[in-house]
A and B are shown apart, each in its own frame.
Chain A
Amino acid sequence: MKIKNNVLFIAIATLFLSACSTSVQRLDAQQEVDLSGAWNDTDSQLVAKEMVEDALSRAWISNFVKAEGKDPAVIVGKIRNLSHEHINTNTFIADMERELINSGEVQFVAAAGARDEIREERGDQDLNATEETRKEMGQEYGADFMMQGQINTIIDADGTTQVRFYQVNLELISIKDNRKVWVGQKKIKKLVKNSKLRE
């Protein structure tokens, strides 16, 4: 009887401890996983894809090609986080850049931070690289349009239930004359219910 009790105790203890141990599972980066209801990688990719698709399907792009005879060059500027969450806008900007470049319909220009580093490298080449391999200053490709925007949220909370409403506003502005050639908007609404009980 005593042995039986001990075996039972060990079995329960093992079960208890295994429930507490850390487990790691590799997931496909495309797989949707929503843990807290907060803005996540899926939202970032989804919004970037849909908004770039919308931007590239509008008339501004064909108008530009017809007028200038070349693809427009675009740069992504500041996307302000005005939401209730600490959103890393850099990952959203990276998603936007990827969608824009891969569309093949626009030229893409490096952002301000990256340009500074490249300019520094060109300066270094000017002093140290051979004449055949040296890249000259003043040959940069100037952007025609800048994409700017903001991420906003409205939160309605009651006890353990929350409705999270995200609105991403983006606009494409002509650098030459400040004209807004495209304004896009994407909305996401989430209902988050937190458990009233825990372990």
Chain B
Amino acid sequence: MQKIIPLFFIMLLTACAGQQRATNKLANQLYQQNPQHILKQLQETDPPERDYAQFHLNVGLLQLLASDFPASIETLTQAKKEMAVLAATSISENAAAGTINETLRSYSGYPTDRVMVHNILALSYLFNDDIDGARVEMLQADVAMKKLANRKSLNGQLASTHLLAGIIYEMLDEQSNALISYRHAANIITDRKLAVPVGLQQSLLRMSYMVDKNGQYLTYKKTYSGFPTPVKNSNSQIFALYFDGIVSNKKQNSIMVPSGNNEQLIRISMPAYPKIDYRLTRAKLSDANQQLTTELIENLDVLVREDLSKEYPSILLLTTTRAIAKYELVDQAGKKDSLFGILVNIVTALTEIADLRSWNMLPSTIQFAYLETTSNEIKVESANNAPQVISLTKNSKNLILISSLDTPVFHYQQ
């Protein structure tokens, strides 16, 4: 009996690692297969309860990309609740993580996940024709970002969230709120040493002209020159968001070393992100007279790496503590029975696996473009998709979501 328990542990934890590998594989398959197909496969899996938040985040995102907006809202709301509950510390999970491995802790989401969930929910509400619901998500995202705010870092601060909030406020004719959100987006982009996209520059000029023509507008006009005065006209407005690529999966870095007395094998496993191997593509929007491309607003591949870097000291500390605890355990077992000691050593080494969980079906980058047109249709082109024509009602406000994956262009119009 005593010798069966370690075997049981190995089987259980191998299954956990297998589940994670399967999720990572499905994320990579998104490049070749459409989201609906991947969603079906993901829903057929049976994740352990502690991975539910990660599972629901991925399922909810795929449901959005598969145009099932009510289901996406339901699933992501569930994920949001799970992450909120799991923000509290569990003593039993910490004990398990401190003695066996990190995967025994429930997945509570990284700062990027906790904010991005509101972005995806807001988009689902919009395409489900509920702009008030989308507005609620943006307010919640603002609270989430304020909670995560830190003077020394931009961790948990997403320019794309402020941009989306600005678009939603502008659609609701709340110019003052829109200006504040656009300004936050521009500040984050500048702090990240990126160029402020032309579309965002125009948004700042447009909103400041409406809110404070003789003050802030003049300041922005000096910073962003070369644009005509943004007077009200009867053109249709198109706010285009482009989801490009798939964010990287984590990988495991392990080393196995003999103990000082050569009596034990000690294994250390840490999560890491591989070097970014992503080629940015852009979406193109055009009408009869103009053509423009989307510009980078958020690099999620960078943000997820920042999230892990922030956690790294505590992961390293816990891994080291766990190695000492496991060493003691093997030592005690070996003193009782040398064969049992070897068996326990094998178990402690094999159960030392890194936590590779993440919201790994997010796009690699989020890009933005803004277009004003008198046409009643525009053409949208993106990587891996045939050009699509979007019909516009005259004098309408439109938000479109384009993806580099095999999806249609999602369109909200008012």
Q: Which residues of A lie under 8 Å from residue B333 when comparing CB positions?
A: none
- State whether the Cβ of B336 lies closer than 8 Å to any Cβ in chain A: no
Q: Mark A166-199, 1 if CB is under 8 A from B, else 0.
A: 0000000000000000000000000000111111
User: Closest CB of chain B to A116's CB: distance in Å?
Assistant: 19
A9 to chain B, nearest CB (A): 13
**Contact check: which of B88, B132, B140 meets A197 at CB < 8 Å?**
B88
Bitwise, A28-55 to B at CB < 8 A (1) or not (0) is 0000000000000000000000000000
B136 touches A196 (CB 8 A): no
Instruction: Contact check, A198 vs B143: say whether CB atoms are below 8 A apart.
Output: no
The answer, yes or no, to whether B146 is at the interface (CB within 8 Å) is: yes
Q: Write the B144-166 contact mask toward A (1 if CB under 8 angstroms, else 0).
A: 00110000000000000000000
Using CB atoms, name the residue of chain B closest to A158.
Answer: B147
Are the CB atoms of A196 and B88 closer together than 8 Å? Answer: yes
Known contacts A195-B88, A198-B90, A199-B90; is-contact A157 B133 (Cβ 8 Å): no
Closest residue to B146 on the A side, CB-wise?
A157
Q: Is A111 an interface residue (CB 8 A)?
A: no
CA distance A86 to B132 in the complex (A): 9
Chain B residues near A195: list those with CB within 8 A. 88
The distance in angstroms between the C-alpha atoms of A153 and B90, with both chains bound, is: 31
**A84 and B139 in contact (CB under 8 A), knowing A157-B146, A157-B147?**
yes
Contact with A along B187-222 (1 / 0, CB 8 A): 000000000000000000000000000000000000
Query: Which residues of chain B are near A83, meaning CB under 8 Å?
Result: 136, 139
State whether A198 and B132 are in contact (beta carbons under 8 Å apart), knowing that A83-B139, A84-B139, A157-B143 are contacts in the complex. no
Flag whether B225 is at the interface (Cβ < 8 A). no
User: From residue B144, how far is it (CB to closest CB) to chain A in Å?
Assistant: 9
Q: Tell me the minimal C-beta distance from B69 to chain A in angstroms.
A: 15
Chain B interface bracket (under 10, 10 to 19, 20 to 34, 35 or more): 10 to 19
Contact bitstring A145-157, B, C-beta under 8 A = 1, else 0: 0000000010101
Residue of A nearest to B88 (CB): A198
Asked if A160 lies at the interface with its beta carbon under 8 angstroms from chain B, I say yes
Interface residues on A, range: 10 to 19
Complex Cα spacing A8 to B92, Å: 21
Does A82 have its Cβ within 8 Å of any Cβ on chain B?
Answer: yes
CA separation between A153 and B142, bound complex, in Å?
13
* A179–B361 alpha-carbon span in the complex (Å): 54
Least CB distance from A85 to B in Å reads 6
Q: How far is the CB of B157 from chain A (nearest CB, A)?
A: 15
Interface residues of B in 68-102 (CB under 8 A from A): 85-92
Query: A80 near B: Cβ within 8 Å?
Result: yes
Min CB distance B50 to A, Å, is 12
Interface residues of A in 80-97 (CB under 8 A from B): 80-86
Is there an interface contact between B88 and A160, defined as CB atoms closer than 8 Å? yes
* Interchain nearest-CB distance for B243 vs A (Å): 24
In the assembled complex, the Cα of A197 lies from the Cα of B146 at a distance in Å of 22
Residues of B within 8 A of A81 (CB): 132, 136
Q: Are A197 and B89 in contact (CB under 8 A)?
A: yes
Indicate if the CB atoms of B135 and A198 lie closer than 8 Å. no
B128 nearest CB across to chain A (Å)? 12
Q: How far is the CB of B316 from chain A (nearest CB, A)?
A: 24
Report A19 CB to chain B, min CB distance, Å. 13
- Please report the C-alpha to C-alpha distance between residue A80 and residue B132 in the assembled complex, in whole angstroms: 8
Contacts A157-B143, A157-B146; A85 near B90 (Cβ below 8 A) = no
B90 touching A197, Cβ below 8 Å: yes
Question: Given the complex of chains A and B, what is the CA–CA distance between A157 and B143 in angstroms?
Answer: 7
Report B174 CB to chain A, min CB distance, Å. Answer: 9
A residues contacting B by CB (< 8 A) are: 80-86, 153, 155, 157-160, 194-199
Report B's interface with A, CB cutoff 8 A. Answer: 85-92, 132-133, 135-136, 139-140, 143, 146-147
